Amino acid sequence: MRTAMRGFFAVGLPALALMFLSPSAPAQPPEQGARAACRADVEKLCKDVQPGQGRIAQCLKQNQAEVSPGCKQAMAQMHDKMQAFMEACGDDAKQYCQDVKPGHGRILKCLKQNEAKLSEGCRTTMQGAHGSGDQK
């Protein structure tokens, strides 16, 4: 299902990258600094935006001129991490998760369920992105 995978890379990953910016999203250790750096920007610029499907990230992008330098830096770092994730795990996602509907973390859950089959690069990238602890 190539359309689903295209949707994942176009919408799912950017949404995933910034889902921590939503006030209701659980904090992941690697993203805590970025979440804190952008919290005031999200509350100021995107307070009426419903979190999900990359809407917070899109709001921040649309209001880029007003986004604080700390948030811009945090977003740039997350962008770099997501680029690395896409490069490391894109083929694995296509191979093991092609029939998974993107959204709500389903692709990442699929990758985690297939962790033993994933390429070494993808496993390493996922471990680095999510820290050593599993938070659910």
Total length of the chain: 136
Distance CA 64, CA 69 (A): 10
Q: How many domains does the chain have?
A: 1
Whether the pTM exceeds 0.85: the reply is no
Distance CA 84, CA 120 (A): 13
In a domain, 135, yes or no: no
The string of pLDDT tens digits covering residues 13-57 is 444 444 434 444 433 444 566 778 899 999 999 999 998 878 888
In a domain, 7, yes or no: yes
In a domain, 136, yes or no: no
The string of pLDDT tens digits covering residues 61-102 is 899 999 999 999 988 888 888 888 889 999 999 999 999 988
Range of the domain at 40: 2-130
